[in-house]
Amino acid sequence: MSVKVKTIENLESIRESMRDKICLREGIADACVVVGMGTAGIEAGARDVLHALVDAVDKGGLCDRVTVMQSGAVSGEGAPIVVIRKKGQDAVVKTNVTPADAAAIIAEAAE
Measured distance CA(2)–CA(29) in Å, rounded: 28
**DSSP characters over 46-103:** HHHHHHHHHHHHHHHT-TTTEEEEEES---STT-S-EEEEETTS--EEE-S--GGGHH
Eight-class DSSP state of 17: H
- Residue 62: what pLDDT? 85
Q: Digits of tens for pLDDT over the chain (111 positions)?
A: 566 767 877 777 776 666 555 544 555 578 889 999 888 888 888 999 999 999 999 888 888 888 888 887 666 678 899 999 988 889 999 999 999 999 999 999 998
Measured distance CA(101)–CA(93) in Å, rounded: 13
Model-level pTM? Answer: 0.73
- Residue 77: what pLDDT? 76
- Residue 63: what pLDDT? 81
Task: List the CATH code of the domain at 8-110.
Answer: 3.40.30.10
- Residue 22: what pLDDT? 52
- Residue 26: what pLDDT? 52
